[in-house]
Amino acid sequence: MNRILMIDLAEREMQARSRLKSRADQLQLVENTKATSGGLSEDQEKELKALRATMDSDLPVDDFYRTVASQVARKSWTQLVNGKDPEYVLKYGFFGSQQSTVGSDLGVNEREIAAVCGLLQLDGFTNANNTDVNFIKHIAEAQGDYRQNLQLFNAAFAQARDRSQVTVQSQIDSGRISKSIIGCITPDASIAHRVAVVEKQVPGADDRVSAVSARTVAQVVRRLIQESVTPNDTWLTSKIETAFNVLTGSIDGAPPSTLEIDLPDLEVTVDIDIDRENLNAVQAIYFTWQLEEMRMYQVVERIVDLFRQGMLPLGRGSVGDYLYKYYQKAGERMNETERRDLYFRCFGAPGGNPGSAEPNRDFNELWLRFLSAVSSFSRQLTVDRLLRSNVPMSVSQEQVRKAGRDLGSNLSRNGYGIAYNAAIEMQQSILEFRDVLTNPDLRNVFGARDMWQVIDLVNANYLGGPRNTHRFRTQSRNGAIIIRWIANHAQQLTDIRGPVLMVEQIVNPVFRVQSDHKPTVEPTDWDLVNACEQWLAVGGVQEQSVEQYSQPIEAPITSSRPIGMPQFAREALDSAGISLPA
């Protein structure tokens, strides 16, 4: 027989510990910035120390369970803990009987605590604090229900034990129990100490347990009572199994009164509207667009033209080979008009042909709104905001999520078609341009120190004047980081569960020294914030504009993929003198 894991009580314990961790993280953040904030007060230091000790212990922190256990035992929680009676001390869903002997059944008091917890959850009485002044009364009423139907509860608990045999790791992966459950019985040390223990831990990740929900057991018994089933019923076992199947959805036919209102999650049943592959393509196209604005393509083409005319003192070598190859295969590459059409479709950039593609008119505003939301959110993570916890933050996680999802959906929609293939060609071209422009032979011809000086000199002498290369190369790199972050976090942007930005990464960034870390491939939240700040700075976006753009607006009307206009609508617009792309 496996150990019995009270899965719903374990889930409540995990949620309670998560709330304590959030508070501890908030206090730790103030302490980390004590140079400007003055640090924690004496009371706050005591609170943080107590929180750390609590979170490092296996003792339950869920007030709901602690109050129920105290009332059933008729002792205070302090007395229960100091008395070292494991019968009442639940460890991540394991009662005392399950912590000592494998295969033992729940004790009398343990079943009563579990049943009372299940009945209270079923009736919605879970506020163990001062918000429910009648909570103790609800416990007494639940105890009366349990004792009046004791035999039905015993039968339901016995049958529930054999219905769900799972591994501990499967429940950790599903997010129902804390990973600290591993080793809570053996070696039974502090949580921090258990991490370093190499000996076998009990329970282990692969151990099988019987996952029993006290709430479901209570619901089964309630159903049996409504159907006037008695403990002496000949078909009691069959009726209990039928009740379990009906309540867990295994069979149909449950009356409406036994079912709960449980609306479906529509975001889970459909594909997300941000296609990562499309955004990866758009990332390369955006990067190329900014380099096009500094005339990198035109510079290389002008150098090829000078090479063809014999005006560059270049002899035999790799630079000459590349320039000749570039000239020879000019007809196989996208020309500037085709590239401008692509920028026009993906970003609404000027210079494209309105007759060949529909421009992305929403990009600029959605782009500035996301950058401004991220920038404002990071700036407001200051000590005075944390200390004044009663003052709401002007930009929330959900505003950042909404702005990111709007931008991601927009870019994804405009990344279909030729975008991915064009992005591959553009990426290869940029790599080749980098190699040829940094070649010492070519730099010596122009007397330049690096590739940027080569571009500046060619722009100034042959292409009508210099361009702001610093601005465009900064925007190209940081824009690529921003788009890749959206692509990598598509799931977080479409799933409302959990934060979209990790506050700790932003306020206490761990700067990577590894040479293999590439923000344009695996950007962290800090990389995102830094990229947004730099882009806004070089773009000359004023503070008042950032504040204005950071506020949410209604999402623009858009589809998750391009939808062609019906022919009759095109004909109506054509008759009105309005021409659209074919």
pLDDT digits (tens, 9 = 90+) for 405-428: 999 988 988 888 888 888 899 999
Condensed to tens digits (0 to 9), the pLDDT of residues 423-463 reads 899 999 999 999 999 999 899 888 899 999 999 999 999 99
Measure the CA–CA gap between 99 and 86, rounded to whole angstroms.
8
Q: Whole-prediction pTM value?
A: 0.55
Q: Confirm if 280 and 287 have CB atoms less than 8 A apart.
A: no
DSSP 582: -
Q: Measuring CA to CA, how many Å separate 479 from each of 290, 383, 413, 444?
A: 9, 29, 18, 32
Condensed to tens digits (0 to 9), the pLDDT of residues 67-125 reads 999 999 998 888 888 876 777 888 999 998 888 767 688 889 999 999 999 999 888 88
Pick the more confident residue, 365 or 416.
365
Q: Does the pLDDT value for residue 14 go beyond 60?
A: yes
Please state the rounded mean pLDDT for residues 191-214: 82
Q: What is the pLDDT of residue 474?
A: 93
Q: What's the pLDDT band for 130 if we cut at 50, 70, 90?
A: low
Low-confidence winner among 180-184, 217-221, 274-278, 446-450 (lowest mean pLDDT): 274-278
Measure the CA–CA gap between 324 and 316, rounded to whole angstroms.
11
- Share the mean pLDDT of the chain: 83
Closest C-alpha among 272, 570, 18, 572 to residue 582: 570
Low-confidence winner among 183-197, 374-388, 404-418 (lowest mean pLDDT): 374-388
- 70 burial (CB, 10 Å; 0-12 / 13-18 / 19+) is buried
Condensed to tens digits (0 to 9), the pLDDT of residues 292-327 reads 999 999 999 999 999 988 888 887 888 889 999 988
Q: What is the pLDDT of residue 390?
A: 44
Q: What percent of the chain has pLDDT over 70?
A: 84
Q: Does the pLDDT value for residue 65 go beyond 70?
A: yes
Q: Confirm if 288 and 426 have CB atoms less than 8 A apart.
A: yes
Pick the more confident residue, 354 or 61.
61
Please state the rounded mean pLDDT for residues 121-142: 83
Helix, strand, or coil (residue 295): coil
SS3 track for 188-229: CCCHHHHHCCCCCCECCCCCEEEEECHHHHHHHHHHHHHCCC
Q: Does the pLDDT value for residue 330 go beyond 70?
A: yes
Low-confidence winner among 18-27, 154-163, 533-542 (lowest mean pLDDT): 18-27
Please state the rounded mean pLDDT for residues 526-545: 90
- To the nearest 10 degrees (0 to 180), the angle between helices 214-226 and 150-161 is 130
Closest C-alpha among 390, 372, 332, 406 to residue 555: 406
Q: What's the pLDDT band for 569 if we cut at 50, 70, 90?
A: low
Q: Does the pLDDT value for residue 404 go beyond 70?
A: yes
Q: What is the pLDDT of residue 514?
A: 47
Q: Does the pLDDT value for residue 150 go beyond 90?
A: yes
Closest C-alpha among 491, 351, 349, 482 to residue 414: 349
Please state the rounded mean pLDDT for residues 472-480: 93
Q: Confirm if 532 and 482 have CB atoms less than 8 A apart.
A: yes
List the end-to-end C-alpha distance of the chain, in Å, as a whole number.
Answer: 70
Q: Does the pLDDT value for residue 403 go beyond 60?
A: yes
Q: What's the pLDDT band for 221 if we cut at 50, 70, 90?
A: very high
CA count, 13 A, side-chain hemisphere, 260: 13
Q: Confirm if 474 and 538 have CB atoms less than 8 A apart.
A: yes
Q: What's the pLDDT band for 61 if we cut at 50, 70, 90?
A: very high
Please state the rounded mean pLDDT for residues 468-497: 88
Q: Does the pLDDT value for residue 392 go beyond 50?
A: no
Q: What is the pLDDT of residue 194?
A: 73
Element (H, E) at 441: helix 440-446
Tokens of 38: 């003055």
Pick the more confident residue, 193 or 459.
459
Which residue blocks in 56-134 are alpha helix, DSSP H? 63-73, 77-82, 96-100, 108-123
Q: Does the pLDDT value for residue 248 go beyond 90?
A: no
Element (H, E) at 475: helix 469-488
Q: What is the pLDDT of residue 483?
A: 94
Q: What's the pLDDT band for 533 if we cut at 50, 70, 90?
A: very high
- 406 burial (CB, 10 Å; 0-12 / 13-18 / 19+) is buried
Pick the more confident residue, 330 or 554.
330
Q: What's the pLDDT band for 521 if we cut at 50, 70, 90?
A: confident
